């Protein structure tokens, strides 16, 4: 992909993401004025660069601009932790509460049901807010909301406030990891399903309303194929979810953990990974079908605030 070919029909500039074997860097985009040529160039970059794009705007976006950019990749999905069953246990007495009623209740408070605010600052005032100390630690490798039957496809993270050191985000191509599997391992994974735990967030903090399970066998979460197809690129990808409370369905627990340890060691090898150092105003977009991501720790005296959106997903298709 060259800058000259990327700009033939669009005003945006597309380059390889510096320091990475995958990913694209896009500059010059105006999310409030997206053309069809812009959208086509973005999708070309997505397909050529393994499903990771960094948009460098140099300024903060409005909520409408971020939602407009999200719409390039699909239909907006609700933010996790707001709607019952989407990263949130169903409270007693709300078993029959419709999604429409929940959305109306959320909007009545002035909250955007499609926007997640991730940080140790109040998103409105930017005043410091109390958070669990685990928030500042390392967040494990994971795929967003893979504990539900139909996980979101794309996630977008918009840097509002970032520390001057730490808090970077790691990305790991699971398409590359799948390509590097031995034929014996690939054959072993055919037909296997891995449970993706919903009990804990990637920071290690127990989700609201959840109870720690006695073992991964009893953990709550959906079981997905270990190898999945990515229909938009016709590629295979490893689909591991997250390490905590993962379980290979039908196996003895010790056998499951031995296999999962080997898969995680393979999936997160340095040659498949990229560490992103944030700049305020950037938006990074990734395809959860193709990518794992994690967050590096940062100092408790520092501030970090991200806006996050995501798109509705599709049924997970097992690799043939």
CATH code: domain of residue 297:
3.60.130.10
Q: What share of the chain is helix, strand, coil (3-state, %, to 5)?
A: 25, 25, 50
Within-domain flag for 106: no
* DSSP codes joined into one string, 107-175: HHTT--TT-EEEESB-TTT--B----GGGGSPEEEE-TTTTSSS--SEEEEEEEE--SSS--EEEEEHH
Residue 315 lies inside a defined structural domain of this protein: no
Please give the model's pTM, rounded to 2 decimal places: 0.92
Residue 38 within a domain: yes
Residue 232 resides in a domain: yes
Residue 186 is assigned to a structural domain of this protein: yes
109 within some domain: no
Domain presence at residue 85: no
Q: Are 103 and 113 in contact (CB under 8 A)?
A: yes
pLDDT at 9: 67
Contact between 157 and 305 under an 8 Å Cβ cutoff? The reply is: no
Q: Is residue 100 part of a domain?
A: no
Taking only the tens place, the pLDDT of each residue in 197-224 is 999 999 999 988 889 999 999 999 999 9
List the domain range (segments joined by +) for residue 8. 3-77+114-310
- Residue range 146-162, pLDDT digits in tens: 999 999 999 999 999 99
| Band of residue 55 on the pLDDT scale cut at 50, 70, 90 | very high
Contact 86, 80 (CB under 8 A): yes
Domains held by the chain: number: 1
């Amino acid at each position: 992909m060259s800058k000259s070919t990327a700009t033939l029909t669009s005003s945006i500039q597309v380059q390889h993401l510096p320091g990475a074997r995958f990913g694209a860097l896009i500059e010059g985009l105006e999310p409030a004025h997206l053309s069809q040529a812009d959208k086509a160039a973005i999708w070309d970059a997505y397909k050529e660069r393994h499903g990771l794009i960094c948009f460098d705007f140099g300024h903060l976006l409005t909520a409408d601009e971020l939602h407009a950019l999200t719409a390039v990749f699909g239909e907006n999905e609700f933010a996790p932790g707001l709607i019952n069953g989407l990263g949130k246990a169903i409270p007693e007495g709300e078993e029959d509460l419709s999604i429409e009623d929940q959305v109306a209740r959320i909007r009545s408070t002035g909250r955007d049901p499609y926007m997640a605010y991730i940080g140790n600052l109040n998103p409105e005032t930017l005043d410091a807010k109390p958070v669990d100390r685990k928030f500042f630690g390392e967040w494990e490798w994971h795929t967003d909301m893979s504990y539900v039957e139909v996980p979101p496809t794309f996630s977008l993270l918009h840097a509002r406030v970032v520390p001057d050191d730490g808090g970077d985000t790691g990305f790991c191509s699971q398409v590359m990891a799948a390509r590097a599997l031995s034929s014996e391992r690939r054959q072993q994974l055919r037909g296997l399903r891995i449970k993706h735990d919903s009990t804990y967030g990637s920071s290690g903090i127990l989700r609201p309303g959840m109870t720690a399970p006695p073992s991964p066998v009893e953990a709550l979460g959906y079981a997905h194929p270990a190898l999945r197809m990515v229909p938009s690129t016709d590629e295979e990808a490893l689909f591991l979810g997250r390490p905590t409370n993962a379980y290979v369905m039908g196996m003895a627990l010790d056998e499951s953990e031995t296999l999962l340890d080997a898969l995680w060691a393979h999936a997160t090898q340095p040659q498949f990974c990229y560490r992103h150092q944030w700049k305020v105003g950037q938006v990074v977009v990734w395809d959860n079908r193709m990518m794992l991501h994690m967050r590096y720790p940062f100092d408790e005296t520092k501030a970090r605030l991200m806006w996050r959106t995501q798109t509705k997903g599709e049924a997970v298709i097992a690799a043939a």
